[in-house]
Chain A
Amino acid sequence: MRKIFSLIILIILALGVYICISEIPFGKPGTAVGNYYIEKGIEETGAVNIVTSIVLNYRGFDTLGEVTILFLASLGLGAILATVQNKTRGVITPPSLILTTACRFLFPFILMFGAYIFLHGHLTPGGGFQGGAIIASGFLLRYLGCPQKRIRQSSFVAIESLGGIAFIIIGLLGFTAGGFFLFNFLPKGVANTLLSAGIIPLIYIAIGLKVGAEMAGIIDTLIEES
Chain B
Amino acid sequence: MDFLNNYIFYIGAFGLIFIGLYILLTRKNLIKLIIGLSIVDTGVNLLIICMGYLKNGTAPIFSRKGLNPETMVDPTPQALVLTSIVIGVAVLAMALSLAIRLYQHYGTLDMRKIKEQKW
Instruction: Check whether chain A touches chain B (CB < 8 angstroms).
Output: yes
Task: Name A183-200 residues within 8 Å CB distance of B.
Answer: 191-192
Q: Does any Cβ of B come within 8 Å of A6's Cβ?
A: yes
Contact of B26 among A6, A33, A192 (CB under 8 A): A6
**Is A26 interfacial (CB-CB < 8 Å)?**
yes
- Are A3 and B79 in touch, CB under 8 angstroms? no
Please determine whether B63 and A77 come into contact, CB atoms closer than 8 angstroms.
no
| Contacts known (A74-B90, A211-B86); A80 close to B98, Cβ less than 8 A | yes
B60 touches A77 (CB 8 A): no
A115 to B111, CA, bound (A): 42
Contact call B79/A222, Cβ cutoff below 8 A: no
Q: Is the CB of A51 within 8 A of B74?
A: no
Which secondary structure characterizes the binding site on chain B? helix
Q: How far is the CB of B76 from chain A (nearest CB, A)?
A: 5
Q: Is the CB of A10 within 8 A of B18?
A: yes
Contact A27 B76 (CB under 8 A): no
- For the residues of A in contact with B, the DSSP-based class is helix
Chain A proximity of B37: nearest CB distance (Å): 14
From B26, B52, B83, B94, give the contact of A66 (CB < 8 A): B83
User: Closest Cβ of chain B: how far from A157's Cβ, in Å?
Assistant: 16
Is B87 in contact with chain A by the CB < 8 A criterion? yes
CB distance from B53 to the nearest CB of A (A): 5
The interface stretch among A35-43, A104-112, A142-150, A158-166 is A35-43
Contacts A54-B79, A191-B62 hold; do A6 and B25 have CB atoms under 8 A apart? yes
Q: With A10-B21, A76-B94 known to touch, is A37 a contact of B75 (CB < 8 Å)?
A: yes
Most central of B25, B52, B69, B75 by chain A CB within 10 Å: B75
Interface contact A39-B94, CB-CB below 8 Å: no
Tell whether, in the assembled complex, residue A13 and residue B50 are in contact, meaning their CB atoms are under 8 Å apart.
no
> Shortest distance in angstroms between B61's beta carbon and chain A's nearest beta carbon?
5
Q: In the complex the two chains form, what is the Cα distance from A55 to B82 in whole Å?
A: 8
Chain A residues with CB under 8 A of B18: 10, 13-14
A51 partner residues in chain B, CB cutoff 8 A = 60-61, 75, 78-79, 82
**A38 pairs with B21, CB closer than 8 A:** no
Could you tell me if A54 and B14 are in contact, using CB atoms closer than 8 angstroms? no
Closest CB in chain A relative to B70 CB, distance in Å: 9
Which chain A residues in 70-108 approach chain B with CB under 8 Å?
70, 73-74, 76-77, 80-81, 84, 86
Residues of A within 8 A of B100 (CB): 81, 222
Q: Is the CB–CB distance between A13 and B21 below 8 Å?
A: yes
B62's contact among A13, A26, A192, by CB below 8 Å, is which? A192
Q: Which residues of A contact B (CB under 8 A)?
A: 2-3, 6-7, 9-10, 13-14, 17, 21, 24-31, 33-34, 37-39, 41-42, 48-51, 54-55, 59, 62-63, 66, 69-70, 73-74, 76-77, 80-81, 84, 86, 123-125, 127, 129, 191-192, 211, 215, 218, 221-222
Name the 8 nearest CB pairs between A and B, nearest first. Answer: A30-B74, A6-B25, A73-B90, A27-B55, A34-B74, A54-B79, A50-B60, A50-B75
6 A–B contacts from the bound complex (CB under 8 Å): A26-B9, A28-B55, A34-B76, A124-B63, A191-B62, A221-B97
